[in-house]
Structure 1
Protein backbone atom coordinates (compact mmCIF):
# COMPACT_ATOMS: atom_id res chain seq x y z
CA UNK A 1 0.00 0.00 0.00
CA UNK A 2 2.89 2.40 0.56
CA UNK A 3 3.06 4.83 -2.29
CA UNK A 4 6.02 6.43 -3.98
CA UNK A 5 5.95 9.84 -5.56
CA UNK A 6 8.43 11.68 -7.75
CA UNK A 7 7.88 14.92 -5.85
CA UNK A 8 10.79 15.86 -3.57
CA UNK A 9 8.21 16.97 -1.01
CA UNK A 10 6.69 13.49 -0.67
CA UNK A 11 7.71 11.74 2.59
CA UNK A 12 7.49 8.00 2.10
CA UNK A 13 7.81 7.20 5.81
CA UNK A 14 4.65 9.14 6.67
CA UNK A 15 2.73 7.39 3.90
CA UNK A 16 3.86 4.01 5.18
CA UNK A 17 2.92 4.86 8.76
CA UNK A 18 -0.60 5.82 7.69
CA UNK A 19 -0.85 2.64 5.62
CA UNK A 20 -0.03 0.57 8.71
CA UNK A 21 -2.73 2.33 10.75
CA UNK A 22 -5.29 1.65 8.01
CA UNK A 23 -4.75 -2.13 7.95
CA UNK A 24 -6.52 -2.46 11.34
CA UNK A 25 -10.21 -2.90 10.52
CA UNK A 26 -13.47 -4.05 12.04
CA UNK A 27 -13.31 -7.76 12.81
CA UNK A 28 -9.51 -7.60 12.83
CA UNK A 29 -8.61 -5.45 15.85
CA UNK A 30 -5.48 -7.44 16.77
CA UNK A 31 -2.85 -8.27 14.16
CA UNK A 32 0.53 -9.92 14.30
CA UNK A 33 3.62 -8.31 12.82
CA UNK A 34 3.47 -10.75 9.92
CA UNK A 35 -0.18 -9.90 9.22
CA UNK A 36 0.54 -6.16 9.30
CA UNK A 37 3.50 -6.55 6.97
CA UNK A 38 1.44 -8.60 4.52
CA UNK A 39 -1.59 -6.30 4.60
CA UNK A 40 0.50 -3.15 4.17
CA UNK A 41 2.80 -4.73 1.56
CA UNK A 42 5.86 -3.81 3.59
CA UNK A 43 8.97 -5.80 4.56
CA UNK A 44 8.70 -7.18 8.09
CA UNK A 45 11.61 -5.06 9.44
CA UNK A 46 9.96 -1.91 8.07
CA UNK A 47 6.55 -2.84 9.46
CA UNK A 48 8.14 -3.59 12.84
CA UNK A 49 9.88 -0.20 13.01
CA UNK A 50 6.67 1.59 12.12
CA UNK A 51 4.68 -0.35 14.73
CA UNK A 52 7.30 0.38 17.39
CA UNK A 53 7.26 4.07 16.48
CA UNK A 54 3.45 4.17 16.64
CA UNK A 55 3.64 2.34 19.96
CA UNK A 56 5.96 4.96 21.42
CA UNK A 57 3.63 7.71 20.17
CA UNK A 58 0.67 5.99 21.83
CA UNK A 59 -1.27 5.04 18.69
CA UNK A 60 -0.55 1.30 18.90
CA UNK A 61 -0.05 -1.12 21.77
CA UNK A 62 0.88 -4.77 22.10
CA UNK A 63 -1.97 -7.21 22.65
CA UNK A 64 -2.22 -10.94 23.08
CA UNK A 65 1.48 -11.62 23.27
CA UNK A 66 2.56 -11.35 19.64
CA UNK A 67 -0.21 -9.05 18.45
CA UNK A 68 -0.71 -5.32 18.05
CA UNK A 69 -3.85 -3.21 18.27
CA UNK A 70 -4.75 0.45 17.82
CA UNK A 71 -5.38 2.61 20.88
CA UNK A 72 -8.15 5.19 21.30
CA UNK A 73 -5.57 7.91 20.60
CA UNK A 74 -6.02 7.16 16.89
CA UNK A 75 -9.42 8.83 17.19
CA UNK A 76 -7.58 12.11 17.73
CA UNK A 77 -6.48 12.02 14.09
CA UNK A 78 -10.04 11.93 12.80
CA UNK A 79 -11.48 14.25 15.43
CA UNK A 80 -8.86 16.86 14.61
CA UNK A 81 -10.43 17.05 11.16
CA UNK A 82 -14.00 17.13 12.44
CA UNK A 83 -13.32 19.79 15.05
CA UNK A 84 -11.18 21.92 12.75
CA UNK A 85 -14.03 22.11 10.28
CA UNK A 86 -16.42 23.32 12.97
CA UNK A 87 -19.29 21.46 11.32
CA UNK A 88 -20.07 19.32 14.36
CA UNK A 89 -20.53 22.27 16.70
CA UNK A 90 -22.82 23.98 14.21
CA UNK A 91 -24.83 20.88 13.30
CA UNK A 92 -25.21 19.22 16.71
CA UNK A 93 -28.14 21.20 18.17
CA UNK A 94 -30.05 20.93 14.89
CA UNK A 95 -29.40 17.19 14.65
CA UNK A 96 -30.43 16.63 18.26
CA UNK A 97 -33.72 18.43 17.60
CA UNK A 98 -34.27 16.37 14.45
CA UNK A 99 -33.64 13.10 16.29
CA UNK A 100 -35.99 14.14 19.09
CA UNK A 101 -38.78 14.74 16.55
CA UNK A 102 -38.24 11.68 14.34
CA UNK A 103 -36.95 9.26 17.00
CA UNK A 104 -34.51 8.06 14.34
CA UNK A 105 -30.72 8.37 14.14
CA UNK A 106 -29.17 11.12 12.05
CA UNK A 107 -25.67 11.38 10.58
CA UNK A 108 -23.46 13.65 8.51
CA UNK A 109 -20.97 12.18 6.05
CA UNK A 110 -18.46 13.36 3.50
CA UNK A 111 -16.99 11.66 0.45
CA UNK A 112 -13.60 9.95 0.57
CA UNK A 113 -12.85 8.21 -2.70
CA UNK A 114 -15.68 5.79 -3.48
CA UNK A 115 -16.71 5.66 0.19
CA UNK A 116 -18.52 7.94 2.57
CA UNK A 117 -17.03 8.64 5.99
CA UNK A 118 -19.24 9.60 8.93
CA UNK A 119 -18.11 12.86 10.57
CA UNK A 120 -21.05 13.52 12.92
CA UNK A 121 -23.85 11.42 14.38
CA UNK A 122 -26.71 11.59 16.88
CA UNK A 123 -28.08 8.11 17.47
CA UNK A 124 -31.05 6.45 19.12
CA UNK A 125 -30.95 2.83 20.36
CA UNK A 126 -31.87 0.63 17.41
CA UNK A 127 -31.01 -2.90 16.36
CA UNK A 128 -29.41 -2.55 12.93
CA UNK A 129 -27.25 -4.86 10.84
CA UNK A 130 -24.31 -2.43 10.60
CA UNK A 131 -22.98 -0.33 13.47
CA UNK A 132 -22.12 3.29 12.73
CA UNK A 133 -19.78 5.63 14.58
CA UNK A 134 -17.76 8.68 13.59
CA UNK A 135 -15.12 7.45 11.16
CA UNK A 136 -17.20 4.54 9.84
CA UNK A 137 -17.00 4.19 6.06
CA UNK A 138 -19.47 2.61 3.65
CA UNK A 139 -19.54 2.32 -0.15
CA UNK A 140 -21.00 5.63 -1.31
CA UNK A 141 -23.32 4.51 -4.09
CA UNK A 142 -25.27 2.17 -1.81
CA UNK A 143 -26.07 4.88 0.77
CA UNK A 144 -28.40 7.84 0.64
CA UNK A 145 -25.60 10.06 1.96
CA UNK A 146 -23.26 8.88 -0.77
CA UNK A 147 -25.81 9.36 -3.53
CA UNK A 148 -26.29 12.99 -2.49
CA UNK A 149 -22.54 13.61 -2.48
CA UNK A 150 -21.96 11.83 -5.80
CA UNK A 151 -24.88 13.66 -7.41
CA UNK A 152 -23.15 16.94 -6.60
CA UNK A 153 -20.28 15.94 -8.91
CA UNK A 154 -20.28 16.02 -12.71
CA UNK A 155 -21.21 12.57 -13.99
CA UNK A 156 -17.72 11.87 -15.39
CA UNK A 157 -16.14 12.86 -12.08
CA UNK A 158 -18.58 10.67 -10.15
CA UNK A 159 -17.67 7.68 -12.32
CA UNK A 160 -13.97 8.37 -11.83
CA UNK A 161 -14.50 8.43 -8.06
CA UNK A 162 -16.56 5.23 -8.13
CA UNK A 163 -13.80 3.47 -10.08
CA UNK A 164 -11.64 3.65 -6.95
CA UNK A 165 -11.86 0.50 -4.80
CA UNK A 166 -13.87 0.80 -1.60
CA UNK A 167 -11.93 0.58 1.65
CA UNK A 168 -15.03 -0.25 3.70
CA UNK A 169 -14.59 -4.03 3.52
CA UNK A 170 -18.35 -4.38 2.91
CA UNK A 171 -19.98 -6.37 0.09
CA UNK A 172 -23.35 -4.81 -0.65
CA UNK A 173 -26.44 -6.54 -2.10
CA UNK A 174 -26.92 -3.81 -4.74
CA UNK A 175 -24.22 -3.67 -7.39
CA UNK A 176 -25.45 -1.21 -10.05
CA UNK A 177 -23.87 -0.98 -13.50
CA UNK A 178 -22.87 2.31 -15.13
CA UNK A 179 -26.32 2.97 -16.59
CA UNK A 180 -28.06 2.29 -13.25
CA UNK A 181 -25.66 4.59 -11.41
CA UNK A 182 -26.17 7.40 -13.92
CA UNK A 183 -29.95 7.08 -13.73
CA UNK A 184 -29.94 7.03 -9.92
CA UNK A 185 -27.74 10.12 -9.67
CA UNK A 186 -29.81 12.00 -12.24
CA UNK A 187 -32.88 11.31 -10.11
CA UNK A 188 -31.14 12.64 -7.00
CA UNK A 189 -30.06 15.81 -8.83
CA UNK A 190 -33.60 16.37 -10.10
CA UNK A 191 -35.43 16.02 -6.77
CA UNK A 192 -32.71 17.24 -4.39
CA UNK A 193 -32.66 14.27 -2.01
CA UNK A 194 -31.71 10.59 -2.04
CA UNK A 195 -33.25 7.39 -0.75
CA UNK A 196 -31.74 4.00 -0.09
CA UNK A 197 -33.86 0.98 0.78
CA UNK A 198 -31.80 -2.05 1.87
CA UNK A 199 -29.23 -1.40 -0.88
CA UNK A 200 -26.41 -1.26 1.66
CA UNK A 201 -27.52 -4.10 3.91
CA UNK A 202 -30.78 -5.82 4.92
CA UNK A 203 -32.92 -3.74 7.24
CA UNK A 204 -31.21 -0.39 6.56
CA UNK A 205 -33.36 2.34 5.06
CA UNK A 206 -32.49 6.04 4.94
CA UNK A 207 -33.11 9.37 3.26
CA UNK A 208 -30.47 12.11 2.83
CA UNK A 209 -30.18 15.72 1.70
CA UNK A 210 -27.22 18.00 0.97
CA UNK A 211 -25.59 20.51 3.29
CA UNK A 212 -24.30 23.59 1.46
CA UNK A 213 -21.93 26.45 2.14
CA UNK A 214 -22.65 30.11 1.48
CA UNK A 215 -21.78 29.73 -2.19
CA UNK A 216 -24.20 26.84 -2.68
CA UNK A 217 -21.52 24.14 -2.86
CA UNK A 218 -22.36 20.77 -1.31
CA UNK A 219 -20.00 20.30 1.64
CA UNK A 220 -21.58 17.21 3.22
CA UNK A 221 -24.79 15.21 3.41
CA UNK A 222 -27.26 14.75 6.26
CA UNK A 223 -29.56 11.75 6.68
CA UNK A 224 -32.24 10.12 8.78
CA UNK A 225 -31.59 6.43 9.17
CA UNK A 226 -34.24 3.87 10.08
CA UNK A 227 -34.90 0.15 10.33
CA UNK A 228 -36.99 -1.14 7.45
CA UNK A 229 -39.12 -3.30 9.74
CA UNK A 230 -40.04 -0.33 11.94
CA UNK A 231 -40.35 2.64 9.58
CA UNK A 232 -42.39 2.41 6.37
CA UNK A 233 -41.16 4.29 3.32
CA UNK A 234 -44.25 6.51 3.53
CA UNK A 235 -43.20 7.68 6.99
CA UNK A 236 -39.58 8.15 5.97
CA UNK A 237 -40.35 10.27 2.91
CA UNK A 238 -43.67 11.76 3.99
CA UNK A 239 -42.91 12.73 7.60
CA UNK A 240 -39.15 12.58 8.19
CA UNK A 241 -37.97 14.06 4.89
CA UNK A 242 -39.65 17.47 5.35
CA UNK A 243 -38.07 17.73 8.82
CA UNK A 244 -34.72 16.66 7.36
CA UNK A 245 -34.91 19.35 4.68
CA UNK A 246 -35.70 21.99 7.29
CA UNK A 247 -32.78 20.84 9.43
CA UNK A 248 -30.36 20.85 6.50
CA UNK A 249 -31.46 24.37 5.62
CA UNK A 250 -30.86 25.56 9.17
CA UNK A 251 -27.41 23.93 9.36
CA UNK A 252 -26.43 25.33 5.95
CA UNK A 253 -27.58 28.81 6.96
CA UNK A 254 -25.58 28.68 10.19
CA UNK A 255 -22.54 27.39 8.31
CA UNK A 256 -22.81 30.22 5.77
CA UNK A 257 -23.13 32.76 8.58
CA UNK A 258 -20.05 31.29 10.25
CA UNK A 259 -18.13 31.58 6.99
CA UNK A 260 -19.08 35.23 6.77
CA UNK A 261 -17.53 36.14 10.13
CA UNK A 262 -14.21 37.97 9.58
CA UNK A 263 -11.22 35.95 10.69
CA UNK A 264 -8.95 37.59 13.25
CA UNK A 265 -5.21 37.14 12.88
CA UNK A 266 -2.80 36.70 15.78
CA UNK A 267 -1.94 40.37 15.46
CA UNK A 268 -5.56 41.20 16.18
CA UNK A 269 -6.49 42.59 12.77
CA UNK A 270 -9.37 41.22 10.73
CA UNK A 271 -8.46 39.35 7.56
Structure 2
Protein backbone atom coordinates (compact mmCIF):
# COMPACT_ATOMS: atom_id res chain seq x y z
CA UNK A 1 0.00 0.00 0.00
CA UNK A 2 1.35 3.44 -0.88
CA UNK A 3 1.76 6.23 1.66
CA UNK A 4 -1.37 8.04 0.52
CA UNK A 5 -3.50 4.93 0.87
CA UNK A 6 -2.00 4.11 4.26
CA UNK A 7 -2.69 7.66 5.45
CA UNK A 8 -6.28 7.49 4.19
CA UNK A 9 -6.94 4.23 6.06
CA UNK A 10 -5.16 5.29 9.24
CA UNK A 11 -7.54 5.99 12.16
CA UNK A 12 -5.68 8.42 14.36
CA UNK A 13 -8.23 8.43 17.17
CA UNK A 14 -8.03 4.63 17.46
CA UNK A 15 -4.25 4.83 17.62
CA UNK A 16 -4.42 7.42 20.41
CA UNK A 17 -6.99 5.31 22.26
CA UNK A 18 -4.69 2.29 22.10
CA UNK A 19 -1.85 4.47 23.37
CA UNK A 20 -3.99 5.47 26.35
CA UNK A 21 -4.60 1.78 27.09
CA UNK A 22 -0.86 1.03 26.91
CA UNK A 23 -0.11 3.89 29.29
CA UNK A 24 -2.77 2.68 31.74
CA UNK A 25 -1.21 -0.79 31.60
CA UNK A 26 2.06 0.72 32.86
CA UNK A 27 0.27 2.41 35.79
CA UNK A 28 -1.75 -0.31 37.56
CA UNK A 29 -2.36 1.97 40.56
CA UNK A 30 -4.38 4.26 38.28
CA UNK A 31 -3.97 7.70 36.71
CA UNK A 32 -5.80 10.99 36.85
CA UNK A 33 -6.98 12.90 33.79
CA UNK A 34 -4.16 15.39 34.22
CA UNK A 35 -1.53 12.68 34.49
CA UNK A 36 -2.81 10.91 31.39
CA UNK A 37 -2.90 14.15 29.41
CA UNK A 38 0.73 14.86 30.31
CA UNK A 39 2.03 11.35 29.56
CA UNK A 40 0.01 10.84 26.37
CA UNK A 41 0.55 14.35 25.02
CA UNK A 42 -3.20 15.06 24.96
CA UNK A 43 -5.29 17.96 26.10
CA UNK A 44 -7.10 17.37 29.37
CA UNK A 45 -10.40 17.29 27.48
CA UNK A 46 -9.00 14.76 25.01
CA UNK A 47 -7.70 12.53 27.78
CA UNK A 48 -11.10 12.72 29.45
CA UNK A 49 -12.90 11.57 26.27
CA UNK A 50 -10.59 8.60 25.78
CA UNK A 51 -10.71 7.51 29.41
CA UNK A 52 -14.49 7.83 29.69
CA UNK A 53 -14.93 5.93 26.42
CA UNK A 54 -12.76 3.10 27.71
CA UNK A 55 -14.70 3.08 30.97
CA UNK A 56 -18.07 3.02 29.16
CA UNK A 57 -16.86 0.15 26.97
CA UNK A 58 -15.72 -1.77 30.04
CA UNK A 59 -11.99 -1.64 29.34
CA UNK A 60 -11.26 0.78 32.18
CA UNK A 61 -12.66 1.52 35.61
CA UNK A 62 -12.96 4.80 37.47
CA UNK A 63 -12.50 5.18 41.21
CA UNK A 64 -12.78 8.78 42.26
CA UNK A 65 -10.21 10.70 40.18
CA UNK A 66 -8.27 7.59 39.18
CA UNK A 67 -8.70 5.52 36.02
CA UNK A 68 -7.22 2.03 35.58
CA UNK A 69 -7.59 -0.88 33.19
CA UNK A 70 -10.32 -3.42 33.87
CA UNK A 71 -10.02 -7.24 33.80
CA UNK A 72 -11.88 -7.26 30.48
CA UNK A 73 -8.60 -6.65 28.68
CA UNK A 74 -7.13 -9.76 30.30
CA UNK A 75 -10.05 -11.84 29.09
CA UNK A 76 -9.39 -10.68 25.53
CA UNK A 77 -5.73 -11.60 25.87
CA UNK A 78 -6.65 -15.02 27.21
CA UNK A 79 -9.08 -15.56 24.35
CA UNK A 80 -6.40 -14.67 21.81
CA UNK A 81 -3.79 -16.87 23.46
CA UNK A 82 -6.28 -19.68 23.85
CA UNK A 83 -7.02 -19.55 20.14
CA UNK A 84 -3.35 -19.72 19.27
CA UNK A 85 -3.32 -23.50 18.96
CA UNK A 86 0.38 -23.46 18.09
CA UNK A 87 1.16 -22.69 21.72
CA UNK A 88 -1.15 -25.43 22.95
CA UNK A 89 0.81 -27.78 20.73
CA UNK A 90 4.17 -26.28 21.72
CA UNK A 91 3.64 -26.34 25.49
CA UNK A 92 4.44 -30.05 26.06
CA UNK A 93 7.62 -29.71 24.01
CA UNK A 94 8.66 -26.63 25.96
CA UNK A 95 7.98 -28.43 29.24
CA UNK A 96 10.23 -31.24 28.08
CA UNK A 97 13.01 -28.74 27.35
CA UNK A 98 12.62 -27.15 30.77
CA UNK A 99 12.62 -30.54 32.48
CA UNK A 100 15.66 -31.88 30.64
CA UNK A 101 17.74 -28.76 31.28
CA UNK A 102 16.23 -27.63 34.57
CA UNK A 103 15.99 -24.16 33.03
CA UNK A 104 13.17 -21.89 31.83
CA UNK A 105 11.90 -22.27 28.27
CA UNK A 106 9.98 -19.42 26.63
CA UNK A 107 8.37 -18.53 23.32
CA UNK A 108 7.92 -15.08 21.81
CA UNK A 109 6.80 -13.23 18.72
CA UNK A 110 8.00 -9.93 17.28
CA UNK A 111 5.90 -6.83 17.94
CA UNK A 112 7.41 -3.60 16.68
CA UNK A 113 10.77 -3.12 18.37
CA UNK A 114 10.00 -5.68 21.08
CA UNK A 115 9.53 -9.36 21.59
CA UNK A 116 6.32 -10.37 23.37
CA UNK A 117 6.28 -13.54 25.44
CA UNK A 118 3.40 -15.79 24.38
CA UNK A 119 4.32 -18.95 26.30
CA UNK A 120 6.67 -19.76 29.16
CA UNK A 121 7.62 -22.79 31.22
CA UNK A 122 9.59 -21.60 34.25
CA UNK A 123 12.69 -23.41 35.41
CA UNK A 124 13.48 -24.32 38.98
CA UNK A 125 16.26 -21.78 39.20
CA UNK A 126 15.44 -18.19 40.05
CA UNK A 127 16.29 -15.44 37.56
CA UNK A 128 16.24 -11.79 38.57
CA UNK A 129 14.31 -10.91 35.39
CA UNK A 130 10.55 -11.29 35.93
CA UNK A 131 9.08 -12.86 32.80
CA UNK A 132 5.45 -13.78 32.19
CA UNK A 133 3.14 -14.15 29.22
CA UNK A 134 2.69 -10.68 27.76
CA UNK A 135 6.10 -9.44 28.92
CA UNK A 136 7.78 -7.19 26.37
CA UNK A 137 11.55 -6.95 26.03
CA UNK A 138 13.70 -5.11 23.49
CA UNK A 139 14.32 -7.28 20.45
CA UNK A 140 17.84 -6.00 19.81
CA UNK A 141 19.32 -7.36 23.06
CA UNK A 142 17.45 -10.65 23.49
CA UNK A 143 18.19 -13.99 21.88
CA UNK A 144 14.63 -14.47 20.63
CA UNK A 145 14.68 -10.92 19.31
CA UNK A 146 17.82 -11.53 17.29
CA UNK A 147 16.34 -14.69 15.80
CA UNK A 148 13.03 -12.98 14.98
CA UNK A 149 14.75 -9.95 13.47
CA UNK A 150 16.79 -12.28 11.26
CA UNK A 151 13.55 -13.30 9.58
CA UNK A 152 12.53 -9.78 8.55
CA UNK A 153 12.63 -8.78 4.88
CA UNK A 154 15.79 -6.72 4.18
CA UNK A 155 13.89 -3.44 3.90
CA UNK A 156 12.08 -3.98 7.20
CA UNK A 157 15.32 -4.88 8.93
CA UNK A 158 16.99 -1.74 7.59
CA UNK A 159 14.09 0.32 8.92
CA UNK A 160 14.38 -1.33 12.32
CA UNK A 161 18.12 -0.72 12.50
CA UNK A 162 17.64 2.91 11.50
CA UNK A 163 14.73 3.75 13.80
CA UNK A 164 14.91 1.44 16.83
CA UNK A 165 15.72 2.80 20.26
CA UNK A 166 18.97 1.10 21.25
CA UNK A 167 20.38 1.60 24.74
CA UNK A 168 23.36 0.04 26.46
CA UNK A 169 21.66 -2.21 29.00
CA UNK A 170 24.97 -3.68 30.22
CA UNK A 171 28.65 -3.18 29.32
CA UNK A 172 28.24 -6.13 26.92
CA UNK A 173 25.20 -4.83 25.01
CA UNK A 174 25.83 -4.35 21.30
CA UNK A 175 24.64 -0.84 20.49
CA UNK A 176 26.65 -0.04 17.36
CA UNK A 177 24.12 -0.54 14.57
CA UNK A 178 26.55 -2.05 12.03
CA UNK A 179 27.66 -4.60 14.64
CA UNK A 180 24.05 -5.29 15.56
CA UNK A 181 23.24 -5.88 11.88
CA UNK A 182 26.14 -8.35 11.72
CA UNK A 183 24.86 -10.18 14.79
CA UNK A 184 21.38 -10.48 13.29
CA UNK A 185 22.78 -11.76 10.00
CA UNK A 186 24.88 -14.27 11.92
CA UNK A 187 21.73 -15.52 13.68
CA UNK A 188 20.13 -16.07 10.28
CA UNK A 189 23.12 -18.01 8.95
CA UNK A 190 23.62 -20.05 12.14
CA UNK A 191 19.93 -20.75 12.74
CA UNK A 192 20.22 -19.72 16.39
CA UNK A 193 21.37 -16.83 18.58
CA UNK A 194 23.21 -16.77 21.88
CA UNK A 195 23.24 -13.60 23.96
CA UNK A 196 25.82 -13.26 26.67
CA UNK A 197 24.72 -10.80 29.36
CA UNK A 198 23.48 -8.16 26.89
CA UNK A 199 20.08 -7.76 28.54
CA UNK A 200 21.23 -8.17 32.13
CA UNK A 201 24.53 -9.08 33.75
CA UNK A 202 24.53 -12.70 34.86
CA UNK A 203 21.90 -13.72 32.29
CA UNK A 204 22.59 -15.76 29.16
CA UNK A 205 20.07 -17.08 26.67
CA UNK A 206 19.93 -19.10 23.47
CA UNK A 207 17.08 -19.08 20.94
CA UNK A 208 16.05 -20.86 17.76
CA UNK A 209 13.35 -19.84 15.26
CA UNK A 210 10.02 -21.53 14.69
CA UNK A 211 9.28 -21.61 10.96
CA UNK A 212 5.99 -22.23 9.20
CA UNK A 213 5.70 -24.50 6.17
CA UNK A 214 6.81 -21.69 3.84
CA UNK A 215 10.00 -21.19 5.85
CA UNK A 216 8.84 -17.89 7.35
CA UNK A 217 9.90 -17.29 10.95
CA UNK A 218 6.71 -16.93 12.98
CA UNK A 219 8.08 -17.23 16.52
CA UNK A 220 11.12 -18.20 18.55
CA UNK A 221 11.78 -20.37 21.57
CA UNK A 222 14.65 -19.95 23.98
CA UNK A 223 16.30 -21.15 27.15
CA UNK A 224 17.54 -18.55 29.61
CA UNK A 225 20.01 -19.36 32.34
CA UNK A 226 22.42 -17.85 34.82
CA UNK A 227 25.89 -17.27 33.44
CA UNK A 228 27.34 -19.30 36.32
CA UNK A 229 25.39 -22.33 35.14
CA UNK A 230 26.53 -22.56 31.52
CA UNK A 231 29.37 -21.06 29.54
CA UNK A 232 28.57 -19.87 26.01
CA UNK A 233 30.33 -22.95 24.63
CA UNK A 234 28.32 -25.24 26.90
CA UNK A 235 25.07 -23.60 25.78
CA UNK A 236 25.95 -24.40 22.19
CA UNK A 237 26.95 -27.96 23.04
CA UNK A 238 24.30 -28.93 25.61
CA UNK A 239 21.27 -26.65 25.20
CA UNK A 240 21.16 -26.06 21.45
CA UNK A 241 20.55 -29.74 20.50
CA UNK A 242 17.62 -29.90 22.94
CA UNK A 243 16.13 -26.69 21.53
CA UNK A 244 16.57 -27.86 17.94
CA UNK A 245 14.78 -31.11 18.75
CA UNK A 246 11.87 -29.16 20.29
CA UNK A 247 11.85 -26.82 17.29
CA UNK A 248 11.45 -29.76 14.91
CA UNK A 249 8.54 -31.20 16.89
CA UNK A 250 6.78 -27.83 17.20
CA UNK A 251 7.14 -27.13 13.48
CA UNK A 252 5.28 -30.38 12.76
CA UNK A 253 2.17 -28.40 13.76
CA UNK A 254 2.38 -26.56 10.43
CA UNK A 255 2.49 -29.83 8.47
CA UNK A 256 -0.78 -31.18 9.91
Same fold (TM over 0.5): yes
Task: Give the distance between the partners of 1:93 and 1:59, measured in 2 at CA.
Answer: 33
Aligned to 2:41: 41
Task: Give the distance between the partners of 1:110 and 1:47, measured in 2 at CA.
Answer: 31
Over 3 Å counting, the alpha-carbon distance change for 1:237 and 1:213 in structure 2 is same
Is contact 1:116–1:137 with CA below 8 Å preserved after alignment? Answer: yes
**1:125-145 CA distance string (max 9 Å, x none):** 443232111111111110000
Over 3 Å counting, the alpha-carbon distance change for 1:58 and 1:227 in structure 2 is farther
Show structure 1 runs of 5+ residues with no match: 258-271
Over 3 Å counting, the alpha-carbon distance change for 1:26 and 1:41 in structure 2 is closer
Task: Give the distance between the partners of 1:178 and 1:112, measured in 2 at CA.
Answer: 20
4+ runs of 1 displaced by more than 6 Å?
none
- What secondary structure does 1:24 align onto? helix
Q: CA RMSD in A?
A: 2.4
Task: Give the distance between the partners of 2:209 and 2:20, measured in 1 at CA.
Answer: 33
**1:9-63 CA distance string (max 9 Å, x none):** 4444322221100113547643222121122222212211221222233322235
Aligned to 2:13: 13
Over 3 Å counting, the alpha-carbon distance change for 1:6 and 1:188 in structure 2 is closer
Aligned to 2:169: 172
Task: Give the distance between the partners of 2:154 and 2:169, measured in 1 at CA.
Answer: 22
Q: Shift of the alpha carbon at 1:146?
A: 0.6
Is contact 2:161–2:177 with CA below 8 Å preserved after alignment? Answer: no
Aligned to 2:206: 207
> TM-score normalized by structure 2?
0.87
Higher helix proportion:
2
Q: Shift of the alpha carbon at 1:158?
A: 1.2
Aligned to 1:266: none
Alignment of 1:190-205 (within 5 A): 190-205=189-204
Over 3 Å counting, the alpha-carbon distance change for 1:6 and 1:238 in structure 2 is closer
> TM-score normalized by structure 1?
0.82
